[in-house]
Amino acid sequence: MARKFNLLAALLLVFLSINGAVSEDLLFSGETLNANEFIENGPYRFIMQGDCNLVLYMNRNRALWNSATNGRGTSCRATLQNNGNLVILSGPGNDVVWNSGSARGPNSYRLIVQGDGNVVIYGAALWATNTVQSRRRLL
C-alpha cells in the first residue's frame, strides 16, 4: 500500500512540475510580478528587479529591453491589469511608475514571453517589447 502511495505521489509531482513549466512564461490579467520575480521562456527572462526596473534578459546577462524605471520607486511590482495595461506600481500607495499604454477595456489578457524573445500582451496583440531575435543571432 505504501509503495502504491509513493508511486502516486511521485507521478503527481512529475505532473505538477510539467504543468508548472508550461505556465512559467505567462502572466494573466490581474497577476503580478513582485520584486525579483520573473517569467521566462528558454533563454529569455522577464524580471521585476528589486531596483524597480522591469527587464527582459537573454541568457540572464544580456538586457534586450527595460522599462528605464530603476530607482524610481520602492517595493515595486509589475501588474497586468484587467484592461490590458501592464503597469509598474510603487509602494503601499500604488503609485504608477510606468505603464505600457495598452489599456483597451475589460477583458481577459495575457502577457507571454515568447520563444522568439518578444514579450507580448494578448487579448489582441496590444503591446510588445519588439525584441524578436533571429535564429542566427542566438548562435
Return the pLDDT at 57: 98
Return the pLDDT at 6: 53
Between CA 42 and CA 53 the distance in angstroms is 21
Distances (CA, A) of 92 to 36, 73, 77, 86, 95: 17, 11, 11, 18, 8
Return the pLDDT at 3: 55
Return the pLDDT at 4: 52
Domains of the chain: 26-122 (2.90.10.10)
Buried b (16+ CB within 10 A) or exposed e, 4-14: eeeeeeeeeee
**The C-alpha cell that represents 6 in the structure block:** 509513493
Q: Which residue numbers in the chain have pLDDT < 50?
A: 5, 7-23
